[in-house]
Structure 1
Amino acid sequence: MPLWDWSYAFSILPDLLLALVTTIEITVLGSVVALLLGLVIAVLRRARIPVLDQVLWAFVELVRSTPLLVQVFFLFFALPRFGIELSAFVIGVLALGVHYATYTSEVYRAGIDAVPQGQWEAATALSLPRSRVWTGVVLPQAIPRVLPALGNYVISMFKEVPLLLAIGVVEVVNEARELGSETFRYVEPYTIAGVLFLLLSYPASLLVRRLERRRVSA
């Protein structure tokens, strides 16, 4: 049996590409959750509301200090006990989104803290509404500063999606595993899966590096 069979590789490529679409969908949806929830957490923690700030701090530390796979299993097996029935796909999006939201929240906080204090004082002197201070003064300055770091987390999330094979999500690595188990040929499906990840994640990392260089030179 040859180590590599091109005809077999081409025959399984459509199935792997279809599974890759699922991987990208989970990454995009998880990124939306992570970026929005992370921003909410950062803004609420910046407000330093008693009790809520401590609760958010504890939540962030708990999520960041436990493995993502444990969190995936917890949501997958615990939520049905509370009468919440969600598909493995949705569980994966929520698990990845919430996990990375705890990291993006710290990135946002760093960007917010980097806004000069004079900007806050000027907004206060002009008696701007609190919402206007955030949307018109602070966030337009803070978010561009942290875009490269946010981009890195999105790339990391993309590479973490294969963990969801543990709950049956048919993403590209799980599809490669299933194809291999049908024919007992694993070299081709896993190699193609790795190449597909490389073809997407490497250009994305180059884009993030370009953003970093532009931010430094700006």
Structure 2
Amino acid sequence: MSDFWAYLPQMLEGTVTALEIGTLGTAAALVAGMLLAVARQHAPAIVRALVAAYVELIRGTPPILQLFILYFGLTQFGVFLSAWTAGLLWLIAYGAGYAVEIFRAGLAAVPTGQTEAAAALGLSSPRTLTAITLPQTVTAMLPALTNFIIIQLKSTSILYVIGVQELLAHAQNGASNTHQPLAIYAIAGAIYIILNVAISRAVAYLRGRLVWMR
């Protein structure tokens, strides 16, 4: 078991890397998804069509193909991204394509009568969006948001194929150089489960707080 324990610190280091890139990618994807969702509902027809096409492109192509286009494909045009940068950009682009639908469903859950009442009271569209629509949208979308964050975190495991030294990359390295590959992969799986349970509990707590405040 000495070989196994020798790789455990590296796997924990990879976990930190996965959390860093996952947190940044998820936060940026949520912001992008929110803006795209608003555009899909309120922008001119051509913009709505472009957003819809983007969503279909992301959902209709394999994630690893999207990643390879960013990391390898762009070199044809003289664009050379580091593995970390390409991984982060892909995580943002990939996540935004799904976050759009989460926000769109959340926006649809807000009764139209509330926005009509806000307009009758003289509130501007931006003020209505920030003070009335978005707070209720966030509460409605929290269950879907939990799944989204978990999927984003697990998606960081794909980045090992372009050289990002995240958790799975270190686990693969340890499994290839020890006689305990099952133990290595099992501990990697346990780390993912612990992180996902922590995310679920945190979002559930946040949802409870938001419902109580309302």
The count of residues paired between Structure 1 and Structure 2 equals 213
Determine the structure 1 residue equivalent to 2:8.
Answer: 13
Post-superposition offset of 1:94? 1.5
Other structure's SS at 1:170 match: coil
| 1:80 maps to which of 67, 75, 81 | 75
Q: Is the 8 A contact 1:68 1:96 kept in 2?
A: no
Equivalences for residues 122-161 of structure 1 within 5 A: 122-161=117-156
Supply the RMSD in Å over aligned alpha carbons: 2.2
Other structure's SS at 1:51 match: helix
Change (3 A) 1:59 1:163: same
Other structure's SS at 2:173 match: helix
Q: Equivalent pairs: percent with the same residue?
A: 39
Determine the structure 2 residue equivalent to 1:51.
Answer: 46
Post-superposition offset of 1:117? 1.2
| 2:25 maps to which of 27, 30, 39 | 30
Q: 1:64, 1:72 → 2: CA distance?
A: 13
2:154 aligned with 1:174, yes or no? no
Determine the structure 1 residue equivalent to 2:59.
Answer: 64
Residue identity matched to 2:72: F
2:108 aligned with 1:113, yes or no? yes
> Structure 2: which 5+ runs fail to align?
none
Q: Is the 8 A contact 2:36 2:100 kept in 1?
A: yes
Post-superposition offset of 1:28? 0.3
Other structure's SS at 1:43 match: helix
Q: Is the 8 A contact 1:152 1:208 kept in 2?
A: no
Residue identity matched to 1:131: P
Post-superposition offset of 1:185? 4.0
Q: 1:196, 1:120 → 2: CA distance?
A: 44
Query: 205-214 vs 187-196, which deviates more?
Result: 205-214
Post-superposition offset of 1:84? 2.8
Post-superposition offset of 1:215? 8.3
Q: 1:47, 1:207 → 2: CA distance?
A: 32
Q: 2:191, 2:72 → 1: CA distance?
A: 31
Post-superposition offset of 1:216? 9.0
2:98 aligned with 1:100, yes or no? no
Query: 151-160 vs 121-130, which deviates more?
Result: 121-130
Residue identity matched to 1:10: W
